[in-house]
Structure 1
Amino acid sequence: MIRDITLGQYYPTDSVIHRLDPRTKLIGTIAFIVSLFLFKSWLGYAAATLFLAGIIRVSKVPFRYMMRGLKAIIVLLLITVVFNLFIIPGEVIWDFGILKITREGLSQAGFMAVRLIYLIIGSSIMTLTTTPNDLTDGLERVLGPLKVLHVPVHEISMMMSIALRFIPILLEETDKIMKAQMARGADFENGNLIQKAKNMVPLLVPLFLSAFRRANDLAMAMEARCYRGGEGRTKMKPLLYEKRDYMAYGILVAYLAAVTAIGIVVR
């Protein structure tokens, strides 16, 4: 399961999505995620499905590779579905004594499951098609207006980019530690969920030590290169919008207009 997490990883290939300006992808991802929380009917999610399928197709990232990231949230997905099934009141369709499944709960559970899945896929597309450096530059430009309020935009962008970059690094480190302990007789695969959770406890100390060591190495490397923040820092490749970016914004506006119209018509 550790190797199945795709968030924070970059998938190198040549596609239109990879060549888009990182600002376009950031704004598009935020707009898509916001739209997921506005849907009140399955027709809206059908529109989101078509939009997301088109993006995955154009990105040239294998669909099977994209779906790998969902394995890591299966437990969270099940908890969300079960919670909505039995907690939300309404018209009862199945009665199991104390536990009752309502029509409204079933509908809400479906909405929440699809919403969570699409949120993970949408976020993964951005990180899979954007290098860490481009992501940092894009975040800095998008958050640029906050400089008027003396917000350290460059530092915030750098921290977010490093955090995303550290996700696959820490997952790889976790996998190495697990294999080393399994070679010494540790069992991480057998037992119920609680036993598996207890078996993961011995991983925490070496994982934290490894994380602090890598963070210290990164800090020393940045200091050795005289990094002092983003004030007055120039770019070797400044971000410039191109024709494909304006076309992408046009498609995004068309999608948002379609889902808004669906929300108005279907209530």
Structure 2
Amino acid sequence: MVRDVAFGQYFPGKSLMHRLDPRAKLVCFIAFVVLIFFTFNYASLGLIAAFTIFMIAASGVSPKFYFKSLKVILFVVLITSVLNLFYGSGEPIWQWWILRVTWNGIHRAAFVTVRIICLILASSCLTFTTSPTELTDAMERLMKPLTAIHFPVHEIAMMMSLALRFVPTLLEETDKIMQAQKARGADLESGGFFKRVKALIPILIPLFVSAFRRAYDIATAMECRCYRGGSGRTRMKILRMSARDIISMITTAALIGGVIVCNIFLTSVI
């Protein structure tokens, strides 16, 4: 069900991840995402997986919400893993027609699966423990040097924050439309793939109408409040770095060093 999707939601709390400065969380998250794709053996991949588990435990959010966020991309993970399974060099251990499975393909499939799962879990951890307002402030502060070249920093940060804020709202709206269509006798679950896709058309049209209506209402509300961009605006909460933020960035730097050491001194699997 669409209502089971947890990605994009924010859960207020007082855990270690909640108390970190959003700028520190964003910098560590970007470094972690880049680092995920620089794991070439199981030791470095194990460090990434262990750090992901640590972030989940430090967030204070129930693991069931992380499993819900994985449900969204489960199909993509399976398809990607299967495709990588048949894409590998070396002697085949199983072959049929043009399809061949090698040990290298199995390693690639395992690495891709763990990488995507860690990426989604880390993204969920960021959104679960950081409000859209905090994300907006963090992105704006980190991109502030770009204002020297007249880059619309505040506007970009505001658009990204609004888009993230309305992910749960649009999912909830989709679920309501689906329930309404089912109550009118629409069959959305039976039949083949193309029949199911065709059955989604009566859902997409009212969903687009609702999304444009919400966007218009937001624009009207911002105009009524005399919103004129980021120039001269003040903030209710001033972001300040603390010792825990410095420690979090040092920990991330140590993780980067550990992955680099594993990649240099251990044999690459893929």
TM-score, normalisation: structure 1 = 0.96
Compared with structure 1, are the counterparts of its residues 141 and 44 closer, same or farther at alpha carbon in structure 2 (3 Å cutoff)?
same
> Could you tell me whether the CA contact under 8 Å between 2:88 and 2:103 is conserved in 1?
no
Q: CA deviation at 1:22?
A: 0.5
What SS does the corresponding residue of 2:176 show, helix, strand or coil?
helix
Quick one: distance in 2 between partners of 1:163 and 1:141? 19
Aligned position for 1:155: 155
Quick one: distance in 2 between partners of 1:107 and 1:144? 42
Quick one: distance in 2 between partners of 1:83 and 1:198? 27
Q: CA deviation at 1:194?
A: 3.3
What SS does the corresponding residue of 1:95 show, helix, strand or coil?
strand
Q: Kindly indicate whether residue 53 of structure 2 is the aligned counterpart of residue 86 of structure 1.
A: no
Alignment of 1:98-109 (within 5 A): 98-109=98-109
Q: CA deviation at 1:20?
A: 0.8
> Could you tell me whether the CA contact under 8 Å between 2:154 and 2:230 is conserved in 1?
yes
> Could you tell me whether the CA contact under 8 Å between 2:8 and 2:128 is conserved in 1?
yes
Alignment of 1:31-180 (within 5 A): 31-180=31-180
Aligned position for 1:242: 242
Quick one: distance in 1 between partners of 2:6 and 2:105? 30
> Could you tell me whether the CA contact under 8 Å between 1:188 and 1:199 is conserved in 2?
yes
What SS does the corresponding residue of 1:93 show, helix, strand or coil?
strand
> Could you tell me whether the CA contact under 8 Å between 1:91 and 1:104 is conserved in 2?
no
CA distances 1:160-214 after superposition (whole Å, capped 9, x unpaired): 1111111111111000000000111112222343332222122111000000000
Alignment of 1:255-266 (within 5 A): 255-266=255-266
Quick one: distance in 2 between partners of 1:23 and 1:229? 21
Q: CA deviation at 1:97?
A: 2.6
What SS does the corresponding residue of 1:70 show, helix, strand or coil?
helix
Aligned length: 267
Q: CA deviation at 1:155?
A: 0.5
Q: CA deviation at 1:42?
A: 1.3
Quick one: distance in 1 between partners of 2:259 and 2:115? 15
What SS does the corresponding residue of 1:212 show, helix, strand or coil?
helix
Aligned position for 2:194: 194
> Could you tell me whether the CA contact under 8 Å between 1:85 and 1:106 is conserved in 2?
yes
Quick one: distance in 2 between partners of 1:198 and 1:143? 43
Alignment of 1:201-220 (within 5 A): 201-220=201-220
> Could you tell me whether the CA contact under 8 Å between 1:70 and 1:117 is conserved in 2?
yes
> Could you tell me whether the CA contact under 8 Å between 1:4 and 1:72 is conserved in 2?
no
> Structure 2: where are the runs of 5+ without partners?
none
Q: Kindly indicate whether residue 253 of structure 2 is the aligned counterpart of residue 253 of structure 1.
A: yes
> Could you tell me whether the CA contact under 8 Å between 1:2 and 1:72 is conserved in 2?
no
Q: Which amino acid aligns with 1:143?
A: M
Q: CA deviation at 1:3?
A: 2.4
Q: CA deviation at 1:54?
A: 1.0
The root-mean-square deviation of aligned C-alpha atoms, in Å, is 1.3
